[in-house]
């Protein structure tokens, strides 16, 4: 059930900050002097700002942070996120702003479609989406980075066309897919005019596509007032990716983008969809190194890897009928029955089964702040992705070796689906700058190629902000309409 943090401007020009599951009802309570002592004494004028979250636990935490802000920080908050003049300009034109992060996966690779546990982190690289609600079911989407605009209707989306009958460009499949699946599931769909941009590198293993899906799904949820938490939002977006875009992906990326938590990793059991937030130690930096070697998930061997896992599962079921996923197979069982598999399914299943064990150990290590142990597990994961799952490439192996040889690095590995993209390293915070300079230099000396290296901060999941500006409110519907 979505929950909101909000600021109410009071007649003494100060802000009251709170959280609620229903802004409209809550505002009325404040108006009638039944909301809080503060708003009883200082009459509320209007809700001037809100942020939405997938559930009340996160909203409550966020409320604590918001309450600590100074008056000026509160005034600037909505604009504070928007980093440049251009962004401000958009914010003046559009009433809604959605921020949807990419993710880096610390551990648990290629297990999310095998019922295994994963440990992703939402990052401070994101999709920024601005939008105004329309009163019809037409969708205008401007992709600033591509300098392309498409206009869609529900019918055109069904036939994978824009309104003029042109085939959709690849990027447009993500918003179109989300609209399509939500419509098929009978959610109320409102049209919108929108534009978006992203600073998540495309095809690099940081989930740029899931971030677009979640951004549009969150926008549609807001406009349609859907009763849907962020987990369901992620499931809907995953379905869009599978059924409309055509990648048979797991739930990890959409989940992380929707549910990310600041300064924390997420532990998600993809079989039960139970999850928890695991705080990350403050003295450890997450460093991403982008090899700039792109891969395309849809056309790559991703679907093939998944098919091999399914083959392995159905064979193993002959010996152990109670298993539902590869993650249900213990290493002991695999030692017994694995020999019945053909070579490729054997290798893929071995990776999955061992990776599931590593993630469980890693979660324990994180809980006891044992980053040395966590790092060892990351190294083992990379070796397994390279040798058993065969999704690494030589340049990434080189990058990982260089990072793992560095004295300030706890562990480094390929992150995401593989076949190029990025590595993730956990590094001692105080030596992170030196680490980044060193690996850049050493990689260049080894390969003659440049990489991009940066620290990323574990961030919150998707947020929707609404700007209460009376002059342009006529086309906007908000939780307090
Ligand atoms: C891609 C998919 C995820 C997951 C990873 C590999 O990012 O979208 O579901 O399978 O690859 O761990």
Each domain of the chain, given as residue ranges in start order, spans 1-78, 85-279+461-481, 280-456
Ligand 1 mean position, distance from CA 114 (Å)? 11
Catalytic residue positions, numbered = 253
What's the predicted TM-score (pTM) here? 0.82
Whether the CB-CB separation of 273 and 325 falls below 8 Å is answered with: no
The CATH architecture to which 280-456 belongs is 2-Layer Sandwich (3.30)
Residues 6+ apart with CB under 8 A from 138: 151, 152, 153, 163, 191
What per-residue confidence (pLDDT) applies to 92? 66
Query: Which atom of ligand 1 is closest in space to residue 249's alpha carbon?
Result: 9
Ligand 1 pocket mutation pick from 252, 256, 298 by most atoms within 8 angstroms of CB: 252
Ligand 1 mean position, distance from CA 125 (Å)? 18
**1-78 topology per CATH:** GIY-YIG endonuclease (3.40.1440)
Whose C-alpha lies nearest to ligand 1, atom 8?
A: 249
Ligand 1 mean position, distance from CA 124 (Å)? 19
Spell out the alpha helix ranges (H) of 185-265: 208-224, 230-239, 252-259
Reference 462, options 23, 43, 5, 99; nearest CA is 99
Distance CA 212, CA 175 (A): 7
Query: Which atom of ligand 1 is closest in space to residue 209's alpha carbon?
Result: 8
Query: Which atom of ligand 1 is closest in space to residue 205's alpha carbon?
Result: 7
Query: Which atom of ligand 1 is closest in space to residue 241's alpha carbon?
Result: 8
For the packed helices 394-404 and 432-447, what is the interaxial angle rounded to 10 degrees?
140
Whether the CB-CB separation of 300 and 307 falls below 8 Å is answered with: no
Ligand 1: lining residues by beta carbon, under 6 Å: 105, 109-110, 112-113, 249-250, 252-253, 416-417
Ligand 1 mean position, distance from CA 171 (Å)? 18
What per-residue confidence (pLDDT) applies to 232? 97
Q: What's the average pLDDT block by block, 10 residues per block, for the chain (481 residues)?
A: 85 86 90 92 82 86 92 68 49 84 98 98 95 96 93 98 97 98 98 95 93 98 94 98 94 98 97 97 97 74 93 97 97 97 98 98 97 98 98 96 98 95 97 97 97 95 73 33 36
What per-residue confidence (pLDDT) applies to 447? 96
Query: Which atom of ligand 1 is closest in space to residue 109's alpha carbon?
Result: 12
- Largest pairwise CA distance in the chain: 75
Ligand 1 mean position, distance from CA 476 (Å)? 36
Ligand 1 pocket mutation pick from 109, 112, 302 by most atoms within 8 angstroms of CB: 112
Distance CA 122, CA 118 (A): 13
Ligand 1 mean position, distance from CA 250 (Å)? 6
**Structure tokens of 34?**
């039944």
Whose C-alpha lies nearest to ligand 1, atom 1?
A: 417
What per-residue confidence (pLDDT) applies to 50? 82
What per-residue confidence (pLDDT) applies to 299? 61
Whether the domain at 85-279+461-481 and the domain at 280-456 fall into the same CATH topology: no
What per-residue confidence (pLDDT) applies to 279? 96
Sort 310 into a burial class: Cβ within 10 Å, 0-12 / 13-18 / 19+. Answer: middle
Question: Has domain 85-279+461-481 been given CATH number 3.20.20.80?
Answer: no
How do 96-107 and 44-53 pair as beta strands?
unpaired
Whether the CB-CB separation of 169 and 160 falls below 8 Å is answered with: no
């Amino acid at each position: 059930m979505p929950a909101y943090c909000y600021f109410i401007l009071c007649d003494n020009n100060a802000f009251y900050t709170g959280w609620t599951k229903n802004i409209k009802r809550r505002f009325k309570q404040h108006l009638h002097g039944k909301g809080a002592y503060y708003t009883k004494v200082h009459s509320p004028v209007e809700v001037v700002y809100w942020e939405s979250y997938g559930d009340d636990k996160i909203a409550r935490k966020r409320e604590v942070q918001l309450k600590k802000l100074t008056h000026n920080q509160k005034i600037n908050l909505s604009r504070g996120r928007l980093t440049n003049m251009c962004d401000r300009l958009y914010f003046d034109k559009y009433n809604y702003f959605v921020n949807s992060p990419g993710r880096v996966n610390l551990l648990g690779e290629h297990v999310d479609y095998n019922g295994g546990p994963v440990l992703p982190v939402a990052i401070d690289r994101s999709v920024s989406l601005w939008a105004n609600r329309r009163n019809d079911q037409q969708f205008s989407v401007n992709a600033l980075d591509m300098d392309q605009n498409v206009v869609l209707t529900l019918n055109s989306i069904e036939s994978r066309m824009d309104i003029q009958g042109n085939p959709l460009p690849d990027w447009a499949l993500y918003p179109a897919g989300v609209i399509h699946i939500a419509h098929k599931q009978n959610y109320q769909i409102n049209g919108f005019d929108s534009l978006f941009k992203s600073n998540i590198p495309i095809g690099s293993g940081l989930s740029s596509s899931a971030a677009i899906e979640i951004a549009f799904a969150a926008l549609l949820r807001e406009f349609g007032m859907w009763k849907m938490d962020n987990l369901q939002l992620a499931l809907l977006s995953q379905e869009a990716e599978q059924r409309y875009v055509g990648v048979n992906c797991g739930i990890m990326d959409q989940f992380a983008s929707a549910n990310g938590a600041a300064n924390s990793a997420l532990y998600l059991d993809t079989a039960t969809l139970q999850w928890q937030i695991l705080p990350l130690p403050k003295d450890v930096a997450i460093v991403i190194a982008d090899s700039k070697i792109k891969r395309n998930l849809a056309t790559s061997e991703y679907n093939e890897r998944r098919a091999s896992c399914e083959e392995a599962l159905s064979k193993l079921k002959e010996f152990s009928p109670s298993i539902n996923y590869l993650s249900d197979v213990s290493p002991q069982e695999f030692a017994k029955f694995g020999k019945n598999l053909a070579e490729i399914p054997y290798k893929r299943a071995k990776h999955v089964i061992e990776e599931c064990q590593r993630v469980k150990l890693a979660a324990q290590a994180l809980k006891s702040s044992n980053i040395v142990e966590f790092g060892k597990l990351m190294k083992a994961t990379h070796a397994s992705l390279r040798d058993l799952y065969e999704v690494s490439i030589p340049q990434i192996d080189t990058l990982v070796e260089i990072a793992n040889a560095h004295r300030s690095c706890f562990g480094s590995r390929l992150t995401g689906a593989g076949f190029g993209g990025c590595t993730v390293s956990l590094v001692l915070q105080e030596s992170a700058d030196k680490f980044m300079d060193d690996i850049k230099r050493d990689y260049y000396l080894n390969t003659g190629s440049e990489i991009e290296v940066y620290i990323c901060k574990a961030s919150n999941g998707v947020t929707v902000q609404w700007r209460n500006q009376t002059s342009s409110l006529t086309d906007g519907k908000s939780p307090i309409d």
